A and B are shown apart, each in its own frame.
Chain A
């Protein structure tokens, strides 16, 4: 499994770089897709434990607003990104201490509640956040260099790719580690896990904190790509989007989130413009279809195709 996934990841990297070079407007779309892929990977970790969070837009927006607030003081991208991830990690640890006591319904809905509270604070505390106007982010420097628009866009895309590859590899290692296996056991039989002397709460907390940090990093990358942050990043539709992409991509592989988010963003460029008021409806219908009829997502479909090909050969 593992080597084949590596090959697919490398092919994907080449494909993304080639697409961005051939069609410059795709650069923006692909950077956004990779950033969201990082956040979706966090959702995937939680899904492995059988838990779904309807509020991870909270961490997207925390990452993005960290960049927006710190940009005047800390001008460099390479410092801003880890800072955003660290702030999201901190918030994730505190909220995680609370939500990791809960499962299923409570886990999903408490996360939604936290994100809705943060969304309304972002909108209402105008003096600090500029409300729905949002905050403009001036282009950060990269490793000390103040880049022009084009090289800057390449730098952010390259960074997003490196982060996706590196963190994707780490996450895959994590899932096969004892801690990752304990995470899967929360889904199958949590009580037995505790009988074996493992604290399910602590295992879930680790995964939750990791998913929060990934969300923060994704939000920071989005802020550095769009150069403008608004409270909309914390709205429930964003959380729904992350869950949607996770299910679309499929939970079977760490590549699922990236496959899902690239497909999703490419479709969205056209479809969301054509149906602005029916976009959530399309997403909901597809989500229903996947859950009821193809529960392993796009990666599952891909695996089926490849397996069939191999058997024939």
Chain B
């Protein structure tokens, strides 16, 4: 019993780390662009696939498996740099002034397209790589033998992303410009800030974060069609529970939902998928704008 609980907590931490990386990109993009990117889950999936392909290429070329870890980072950078500017400039830039329902439909259409792009490139058979996990070995926690990758690396990277992001947004000029556009786009533009560049940068950065989440997840789970949609729904649950646009809130909520889910995996496996949404619905019933969200003024 205690053993199972400890296992659930360890799994939950590792899982929360992945979810956080996707959710924080989603909430950051929403904060700046005011567009909820339904295609965000696809970037998670594509990041995972690219990482697996890179890993396979490294193994085939006979390089040391120590390269498997930097390859994960490289994969997310590739996905961000390729897809981010392409999608933001070509498609999203056309819809910023449209109704919200149309913005949702456009990102949903993107999602439909990207889901099949994955199938066309990587097929529908499960893909799995575990070189990054093996390269780090295992460690004993009490009576449990756990992988170093999941125990230290995943939560470590997530924590680094959180701290780095907070530092970036509060202490650097680019970060402060982003915050300014988030708070009041018109006033920021009037002060001479190039909002278009901020949009492009934020979106690309968000895509790279989602892809990093996917790349880091790729050694711990099989890549199959459908992981993108599961991830967008789950990370939306995290973002909505935290309050749209809240970054620290997203970290706490990801932890809450990650732990809730992994406890369910061990004690009531049929309801694994239901738990995150139960948490979300319970929170939203009491606080309709999320745990940390602020109500918005209504226009007359």
**Docked-complex contact A52 and B101, CB < 8 angstroms:** yes
Q: With a CB–CB cut-off of 8 A, which chain B residues contact A169?
A: none
Question: Is B139 close to A, CB under 8 A?
Answer: no
Name the interface size band of chain B: 35 or more
Known: A108-B104, A117-B274. A191 touches B110 (CB 8 A): no
**Docked-complex contact B108 and A280, CB < 8 angstroms:** no
A283 to B36 alpha-carbon distance, docked (Å): 20
A295 to B269 alpha-carbon distance, docked (Å): 44
- B119's nearest neighbour on chain A, judged by CB, is A277
Known: A113-B280, A277-B120. A287 touches B274 (CB 8 A): no
- B270's nearest neighbour on chain A, judged by CB, is A124
In B97-154, the 8 Å CB interface with A consists of 99-102, 104-106, 108-113, 115-117, 119-120, 124
Q: With a CB–CB cut-off of 8 A, which chain A residues contact B299?
A: 191
- B36's nearest neighbour on chain A, judged by CB, is A105
**Docked-complex contact A116 and B285, CB < 8 angstroms:** no
**Docked-complex contact A288 and B240, CB < 8 angstroms:** no
Interface SS of chain A: helix
Q: With a CB–CB cut-off of 8 A, which chain A residues contact B274?
A: 117, 120-121
Contact of B105 among A98, A109, A116, A291 (CB under 8 A): A291
Known: A105-B36, A277-B124, A278-B116. A98 touches B281 (CB 8 A): yes
Min CB distance B82 to A, Å, is 17
| B contact set with A: CB distance below 8 Å | 36, 38, 91, 94-95, 99-102, 104-106, 108-113, 115-117, 119-120, 124, 229-230, 233, 236-237, 240, 244, 269-270, 272-274, 277, 280-281, 284-285, 288, 298-300
Pairs A–B under 8 Å by Cβ, sample size 17: A47-B101, A50-B99, A51-B101, A54-B38, A98-B284, A105-B36, A110-B240, A112-B236, A117-B274, A121-B273, A124-B270, A189-B300, A277-B120, A280-B115, A284-B116, A287-B105, A287-B108
The 10 A-B residue pairs with the shortest CB-CB distance in the complex, in nearest-first order: A284-B112, A281-B116, A284-B113, A287-B109, A120-B273, A104-B100, A284-B109, A105-B36, A277-B119, A280-B112
